C-alpha cells in the first residue's frame, strides 16, 4: 500500500521548537473560535482566515511565531521540512485506521474524517470544512461542516465507499430532490432540505440543512419520561404533514423512528420537527427489500413478509407518537417474535387471516389451527384459523429460546398504558377531566395507527383530521372519511434519476457509480 501522510514521520524540526501540532492547533483554534463567536460578522471562511493573519502582519515578532513560523523553523534548521499533511489530526471517525482507498478509508469503508478536513464539490468549488461528528449510521457518517460559501453550518452525509451503499444513496438523492423540488418547493412540509451532492474521494457526499437534536435524544434529555401532550400533538401534526406529502409522491420512508425526526431551529419561538434519512426509502409499487424498518417500529406486514405500502410508515408513526408520550418504545422487542408478541398483547387482536394466509413468514410466528380456532378472538371480534406460537413452540422448532426483552412498563392494553401513565397511580379515575379527554383522544388516535390490517390503518390524511391533531373536542371514536384511492403523483412518474434539474454526469456521478 502506498505510504500515507499519517504514517510518515516529520523530518527534523529543531528540538526546541514547538511541535507542528501546537502550531496547527493554535491556527485551527483561531479559525474555529472566530466561527463560533461571530459567524455573521465574518466574510467567508478563507477570508476570515486571511484577515486573522493580516491582523498579525503588523506585529513582526508575532508574525514570525505564527504566520511565518514555518519559515522561521526552516531558517533555524535547514533540514526542517514542513508538510501540511503531517499535522496531527483530530479524528472523528472510529476506527481511524487507514485500510482502503489509498489509506483514506477505514476497514468499514468509511472516509476517515477529521477536524478541518475539506470536502469539496469540484464542479462548483464549494468547500465544506468538517467540524464535528453528528452521527455514524448504516450508510455512512454525518458530519457538521462549515459551508464557506454561505457562512453557515450544514450536515454532510458521507456515504460508505461501497457500491450497494452508493446505489441506495443515489436513491436517497433522487427521492429527496423529487420531494423537495416538486412536492415541497416552499419548504413547508417538514421534510429535510437537501442542499448539494457530490463525489469526494470515491464517496458520495450529500449536504443537508443543519437541524438540531433528534427526538430520541430529546426524550433521553428528559430522562425518558415523555413529552407534554401539547408537544406530542405539535410534533405529530408536523410528521403527519410530511407523511401526507410522501404518500402523495408515492414514497415509503421505510425507516421512520425518533432518531430520524429532528428538531428544527426555532422560528418565532415555535417548536418544530423535520423528517430526515431517506436512505431506505423506496417508491410504492417498486418495493425491493423485505428486511426494512427498525425492529421496534417494524410493521406487522413487514414482519410477516407481506407486500407493503406507505401504510408501514403509519404503523411506525403510531409507535413514535406513543413513545413521545410515554418516553419509551411501545414495542421494544428483543427479537421479531418478541415484537409481534408485544403487539398482540398491547394492541389486542392479531393480523387478519387473509394477510396471514398470504404472508411469506406466517409460519415463523403462527400455527395454522384449522378453519376456525374457537375462542381465538383475533381480529375485530372474529375468530381466526391462526394462533400465535408460544415461546415453547418456537424453542422446540428452532432448538433455541426466542429472545425476549424486559418490560419497562406495566403489561397491559394500550388504553390502560396511556391512561395510567406515568404509572405511579394505576387508577385512571384520578385524571383531571381535561387530561382525560386528551388521553381518550390520544388512545383513539393510536388505535387507528397501530391497526394490524394495513387496509384499515388510517392514511396520513385521514389521521390529520382526528381531534387529537385538530385540537377539537373528542366526543367519541373517530370515523375517518372514506379516501378515494388516487395514484400518487410520484408513482405515475418514474423516479427522477436526474434530481434537482441537474445532471448526474455534470455532478461527476452516474447511477452506476463514478468509476464507470
Ligand atoms: N440535517 C441534519 N442535521 C443535524 N443532524 C443530522 C442531520 N442529518 C442527520 N443528522 C444526524 O445524524 C444521524 C444519522 O443520520 P442518518 O439517519 O441520515 O444516517 P444513516 O446512516 O441513515 O443512519 P441510520 O443507519 O441510523 O439510519 C441522525 O440521527 C442525526 O442525529
Task: Write the burial class of residue 137 (CB in 10 Å: 0-12 exposed, 13-18 middle, 19+ buried).
Answer: middle
134 CA from centroid of ligand 1 (Å): 7
Ligand 1 centre and the CA of 132: distance in Å?
Answer: 13
Pick from 234, 296, 291: nearest CA to 266: 234
- Candidates 91, 97, 111, 117; CA nearest to 162 is 111
pLDDT, position 371: 65
pLDDT confidence of residue 382? 62
Q: What is the pLDDT of residue 272?
A: 95
Record the cell numbers describing residue 463, joined without a space. 389521521
Question: What integer pLDDT is reported at residue 78 of this predicted model?
Answer: 84
DSSP state at residue 40: G
Cβ neighbours, 10 Å, residue 238: 19
Give yes or no for residue 417 having a pLDDT over 90.
Answer: yes
User: Contact 52/108 with Cβ under 8 angstroms?
Assistant: no
Query: Residue 253: its pLDDT value, please?
Result: 98
Centre of ligand 1 from the C-alpha of residue 254, in Å: 15
What proportion of the chain, given as a percentage, has pLDDT over 70? 76
Could you say which DSSP state residue 309 is in?
-
pTM of the model: 0.80
| pLDDT tens digit sequence for 224-263 | 999 999 999 999 999 999 999 999 999 999 999 999 999 9
CA–CA distances in Å: residue 379 to residues 86, 456, 481, 501 = 66, 12, 22, 48
Q: What is the pLDDT of residue 380?
A: 54
What pLDDT does residue 268 have? 66
Ligand 1 pocket at CB < 6 A: 134-135, 137-140, 142, 155, 157, 192, 208-211, 214, 255, 259-260, 262, 276-277, 279
Confidence of residue 383 (pLDDT cuts 50, 70, 90): confident
User: How much is the CA Rg of the chain, to the nearest whole Å?
Assistant: 27
Beta-carbon-side half-sphere exposure of residue 309 (alpha carbons within 13 Å)? 17
What is d(CA 492, CA 34) in angstroms, rounded to the nearest whole number? 50
The CB density around residue 38, as the number of other CB atoms within 10 Å, is: 10
Residue among 260, 255, 320, 244 nearest 289 (CA): 255
**pLDDT grade, residue 373 (50/70/90)?**
low
The pLDDT, as a whole number, for residue 62 is: 65
The interface predicted TM-score (ipTM) is 0.97
Locate cell 429535510: which residue?
192
- Crossing angle for the helix pair 229-249 and 433-449, nearest 10 degrees? 20
CA 501 to chain centroid: 25
Q: How far apart are CA 444 and CA 337, in angstroms?
A: 26
CB-CB contact of 349 with 339 (8 Å): no
Which residue in 503, 346, 489 sits closest to 409, CA to CA?
346
Which carries the bigger pLDDT value, residue 381 or residue 468?
468
| Residue 73 pLDDT exceeds 80 | yes
Q: Active-site residues: which are they?
A: 255
Please name the residue ranges forming H helices in 193-298: 215-221, 229-249
pLDDT tens per residue, range 335-356: 999 999 999 999 999 999 999 9
Ligand 1 site-directed mutation target among 194, 256, 277, most atoms within 8 Å of CB: 277
Which pLDDT band, with edges at 50, 70 and 90, does 71 fall under?
Answer: confident
Distance of alpha carbon 513 from alpha carbon 516, whole angstroms: 6
pLDDT of residue 506: 44
Q: What is the DSSP letter of 459?
A: P
456 is in an annotated binding site: no
Comparing 389 with 73, which gets the higher pLDDT?
Answer: 389
Angstrom distance (rounded) from CA 252 to CA 288: 12
Q: Which atom of ligand 1 is nearest to the CA of 274?
A: 1
- DSSP one-letter string for 345-392: HHH-S---HHHHHH-TTHHHHEEEEEEEEEEEEEETTEEEEEEEPPHH
For 243, the 3-state DSSP assignment is helix
Long-range Cβ contact pairs of 8-16 (< 8 A, separation 24 or more): 8/83, 8/86, 9/86, 10/81, 10/83, 10/86, 11/79, 11/80, 11/81, 12/77, 12/79, 12/80, 12/81, 13/73, 13/77, 13/80, 14/73, 14/76, 14/77, 14/80
Strand order across the beta sheet in which 194-200 lies: 118-121, 126-136, 140-147, 152-159, 203-209, 194-200
Amino acid at each position: 500500500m502506498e505510504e500515507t501522510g499519517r504514517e510518515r514521520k516529520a523530518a527534523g524540526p529543531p528540538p526546541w521548537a514547538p511541535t507542528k501540532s501546537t502550531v496547527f492547533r493554535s491556527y485551527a483554534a483561531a479559525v474555529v473560535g472566530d466561527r463560533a463567536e461571530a459567524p455573521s460578522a465574518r466574510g467567508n471562511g478563507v477570508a476570515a482566515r486571511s484577515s486573522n493573519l493580516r491582523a498579525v502582519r503588523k506585529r513582526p515578532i508575532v508574525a514570525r511565531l505564527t504566520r511565518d513560523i514555518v519559515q522561521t523553523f526552516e531558517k533555524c534548521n535547514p533540514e526542517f521540512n514542513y508538510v501540511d499533511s503531517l499535522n496531527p489530526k483530530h479524528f472523528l471517525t472510529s476506527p481511524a485506521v487507514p485500510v482502503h482507498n489509498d489509506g483514506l478509508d477505514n476497514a468499514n469503508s468509511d472516509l476517515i474524517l477529521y477536524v478541518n478536513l475539506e470536502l469539496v464539490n469540484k464542479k462548483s468549488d464549494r468547500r465544506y470544512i468538517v467540524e464535528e461528528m453528528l452521527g455514524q449510521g448504516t450508510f455512512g457518517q454525518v458530519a457538521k461542516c462549515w459551508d464557506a460559501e454561505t457562512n453557515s453550518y450544514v450536515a454532510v452525509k458521507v456515504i460508505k465507499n461501497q457500491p450497494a451503499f452508493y446505489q441506495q444513496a443515489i436513491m436517497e438523492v433522487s427521492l429527496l430532490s423529487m420531494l423537495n423540488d416538486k412536492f415541497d418547493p416552499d419548504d413547508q412540509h417538514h421534510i429535510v432540505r437537501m442542499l448539494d451532492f457530490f463525489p469526494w474521494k470515491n464517496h458520495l457526499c450529500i449536504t443537508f440543512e443543519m437541524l438540531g437534536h433528534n427526538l430520541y435524544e430529546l426524550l433521553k434529555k428528559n430522562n425518558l419520561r415523555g413529552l407534554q401532550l401539547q408537544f406530542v400533538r405539535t410534533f405529530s401534526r408536523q410528521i403527519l404533514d410530511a407523511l401526507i406529502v410522501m404518500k402523495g409522491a408515492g414514497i415509503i420512508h421505510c425507516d421512520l423512528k425518533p432518531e430520524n425526526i429532528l428538531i428544527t431551529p426555532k422560528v418565532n419561538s415555535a417548536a418544530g420537527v423535520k423528517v430526515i434519512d431517506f436512505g431506505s426509502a423506496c417508491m410504492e409499487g417498486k418495493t425491493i427489500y423485505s428486511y426494512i424498518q427498525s425492529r421496534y417500529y417494524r410493521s406487522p406486514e413487514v414482519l410477516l413478509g407481506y407486500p407493503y405500502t406507505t401504510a408501514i410508515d403509519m404503523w411506525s408513526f403510531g409507535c413514535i407518537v406513543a413513545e413521545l408520550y410515554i418516553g419509551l418504545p411501545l414495542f421494544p422487542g428483543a427479537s421479531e417474535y418478541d415484537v409481534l408478541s408485544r403487539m398482540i398483547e398491547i394492541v389486542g387482536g392479531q393480523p387478519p387471516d387473509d394477510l396471514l394466509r398470504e404472508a411469506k413468514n406466517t409460519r415463523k410466528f403462527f400455527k395454522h389451527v384449522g378453519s376456525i380456532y374457537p375462542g381465538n378472538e383475533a381480529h375485530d371480534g372474529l375468530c381466526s384459523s391462526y394462533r400465535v406460537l408460544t415461546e415453547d413452540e418456537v424453542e422446540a422448532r428452532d432448538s433455541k429460546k426466542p429472545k425476549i426483552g424486559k418490560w419497562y412498563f406495566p403489561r397491559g392494553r394500550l388504553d390502560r398504558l396511556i391512561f395510567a401513565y406515568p404509572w405511579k397511580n394505576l387508577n385512571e379515575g384520578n385524571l383531571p377531566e381535561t387530561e382525560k379527554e386528551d388521553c381518550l383522544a390520544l388512545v383513539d388516535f393510536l388505535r387507528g395507527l397501530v391497526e394490524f390490517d394495513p387496509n384499515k390503518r388510517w392514511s396520513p390524511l385521514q389521521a390529520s383530521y382526528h381531534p387529537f391533531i385538530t385540537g377539537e373536542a373528542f366526543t367519541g371514536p373517530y370515523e375517518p372519511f372514506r379516501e378515494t384511492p388516487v395514484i400518487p403523483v410520484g408513482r405515475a412518474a418514474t423516479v427522477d434519476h436526474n434530481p434537482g434539474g441537474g445532471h448526474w454526469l455534470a455532478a461527476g456521478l452516474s447511477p452506476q457509480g463514478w468509476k464507470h
